[in-house]
Chain A
Amino acid sequence: MLGFIRTVGWRMVSIVYELGGIAVFGSQMVYQTVSPPWRLRRVIDEVYNTGVLSLAIVLLSGTVVGGALGLQGYITLERFGAESSLGGLVSLSLVREFGPVLTALLVAGRAGSAIAAEIGAMVATEQLDGLRMMSVDPIDYVGQPKALALTFSMPLLSALFIVFGLGGGYLVGVGLLGIDGGAYITGVERNITFSDEVVGSILKSVVFGALVALISTWRGFSSAPNAAGVSRATTGAVVQASVATLMFDYVITALWGG
């Protein structure tokens, strides 16, 4: 019994310790981001790694999710004879929730894990120590471009997810289930307001981008310098980034939607 309490206590302390660590790391990262050099060349390379390489999975998933929403929405709305409102349902779901959240989860899995693995491998092979010995701060040289690129790519990917999702909904609703195309499109356009939905959606995806970026780089930098450590860092990055995204999603929805 005592052992159990001790374990719980130890867990709590180590969580606080972790949070402290990531807070310090986060502030260093922010400082590096706003101070020169900005390493544009490396940021662009990283936008390729995080954004372009995530396009395939984001666009595919967007279309499929849009289609699923279309199908599910139709089944539900048909009961009330309200099939013509499908456009509104699909667009609101995508813009408000599914776009930013699912994109963040997908990117965490694809790009976040890659970042953690790459940085972790650099720790294990002493490359980061090498940088330190050349008087270069690894957070500045390695971490900042990756984090900046991912945060920048996230809202773009989210928007593309939503657009392809709307297309997927159209294909299923209009193409498959025979809803009037005009009603779908009008439903889409009428129900989204810029200041409410779109701004909230962009805000969410930027916040999620920063979260995934911070957690992935942090996991990489703090990984143990061996193969097992890198593997732990990679899976840890995906899990923690995903959980953080979902938690912040709730908070933002609660604060924004009111």
Chain B
Amino acid sequence: MAQSAAEARIEGQAHVDVISLRLAFGDRRVFDGLSCRFAQAKISVILGASGVGKSTLLKLIAGLQQPDYGDIWIGQQEITRMPERQLRHLRRNLGMMFQGGALLDSLTVFDNVALALREHTELSEAEIAEKVHAQFEAVGLKKVDALLPGEISGGMKKRVALARAMIMDPEILLIDEPFSGLDPLAVRLIEALLVEVNRTKGLTMILTNHHIGSTMRLADEIVFLVDGAAVAGSVKDIKESIDPRIQRFLTAAGTGPSLEDAS
């Protein structure tokens, strides 16, 4: 890191900056001085074993949890000490896709996606319908308006969640385990979708993932979490890393082409 974090932010290259994060749950240290950077308009994947804290890191970036120590910068704003009111304002620029979709059970798919528009804009119902349907098309959904979240498949839920996260045209997209519970075909489809979204809209995307295969295909940058800290690098850097922990992780998953597709 030749530049200082502040300089990188001002230049617009780093969009999200995590500095010296420390977090413990009771006796368990989750993060111990974790620092990493997520570049603008790039797809960054937080990779690591289950339980290492990937989702927690994402939630910290989203402001849903507070660290014990450390800073998190989104653009020019430090969020760990921000009051809830201000955070709410900041979140207009953030979209989040949760692992299970986190759609509201009591609302239809249409109402779920339209919620942010109804709450924060003065658009007419016709304009809202236009935007929602455009979003459905962008994520490849058809005729789902009146269905309830309980009536659609896991893959469809993820698409709806993506549509919902994008409806307010955010600059940053946070995605928690986009491929969990999906069959290999569905994984590929969602992968293609995410890549397209990134290319067409230039969104900064931060994903958590524990699939090696899709990570290698998707990521511009990888942030590998291990032992409470992060090792960052491009796909090539990580693949060729001499760090024994990373090697162990990659070997366990299998780096051969046949096994890679199976993960």
CB contacts under 8 Å to B, within A117-155, are 122, 125-127, 129-137
Determine if B64 and A136 form an interchain contact, defined as CB atoms under 8 angstroms apart.
no
CB contacts under 8 Å to B, within A89-130, are 122, 125-127, 129-130
Q: Which size bracket describes the interface of A in this complex?
A: 10 to 19
Cβ contact of B105, chosen from A127, A129, A132, cutoff 8 A: A127
Cβ contact of A133, chosen from B91, B103, B119, cutoff 8 A: B91
Determine if A129 and B115 form an interchain contact, defined as CB atoms under 8 angstroms apart.
no
> In the complex the two chains form, what is the Cα distance from A131 to B89 in whole Å?
13
Q: Mark B54-94, 1 if CB is under 8 A from A, else 0.
A: 00000100101000000000000000000010001101101
Most B CB atoms within 10 A — which of A127, A131, A134, A136?
A134
Q: Which residues of B contact A125 (CB under 8 A)?
A: 100, 102, 105
Determine if A133 and B89 form an interchain contact, defined as CB atoms under 8 angstroms apart.
no
- Chain B: minimal CB distance from A123 (Å): 11
**Contacts A126-B98, A129-B98, A130-B96: A135 and B89 contacting too (C-beta < 8 A)?**
yes
How many of B's residues come within 8 Å of A, CB to CB?
A: 26
Any chain A CB within 8 A of the CB of B120?
yes
- Chain A: minimal CB distance from B107 (Å): 10
Determine if B64 and A135 form an interchain contact, defined as CB atoms under 8 angstroms apart.
no
Cβ contact of B119, chosen from A126, A127, A130, A136, cutoff 8 A: A136
Q: Which residues of A contact B13 (CB under 8 A)?
A: none
> In the complex the two chains form, what is the Cα distance from A130 to B168 in whole Å?
14
Any chain A CB within 8 A of the CB of B108?
no
Determine if B115 and A134 form an interchain contact, defined as CB atoms under 8 angstroms apart.
yes
> In the complex the two chains form, what is the Cα distance from A133 to B164 in whole Å?
11
Q: Which residues of A contact B119 (CB under 8 A)?
A: 134-136
Any chain A CB within 8 A of the CB of B198?
no
Any chain A CB within 8 A of the CB of B99?
yes
Cβ contact of B103, chosen from A127, A132, A135, A137, cutoff 8 A: A127
Determine if A133 and B95 form an interchain contact, defined as CB atoms under 8 angstroms apart.
yes
Cβ contact of B102, chosen from A127, A135, A136, A137, cutoff 8 A: A127
> In the complex the two chains form, what is the Cα distance from A127 to B101 in whole Å?
8
Determine if A127 and B89 form an interchain contact, defined as CB atoms under 8 angstroms apart.
no
**Contacts A127-B105, A129-B64: A137 and B100 contacting too (C-beta < 8 A)?**
no
Cβ contact of A132, chosen from B64, B168, B174, cutoff 8 A: B64
> In the complex the two chains form, what is the Cα distance from A132 to B62 in whole Å?
10
Interface residues, chain A, with chain B CB atoms under 8 Å away: 122, 125-127, 129-137
Q: 3 closest Cβ contacts across the A-B interface? A: A130-B102, A126-B102, A133-B96
Can you name 19 A-B pairs with beta carbons within 8 Å? A122-B104, A122-B105, A125-B105, A126-B98, A126-B100, A126-B102, A127-B103, A129-B59, A129-B96, A130-B104, A133-B91, A133-B94, A133-B95, A133-B96, A133-B174, A134-B91, A135-B88, A135-B89, A136-B119
- Using A126-B100, A127-B103, A127-B104 as known contacts, list a sample of 9 further A-B pairs with CB atoms less than 8 Å apart, ordered by residue number in A: A122-B104, A126-B98, A126-B99, A127-B102, A130-B103, A132-B88, A134-B116, A134-B119, A135-B92
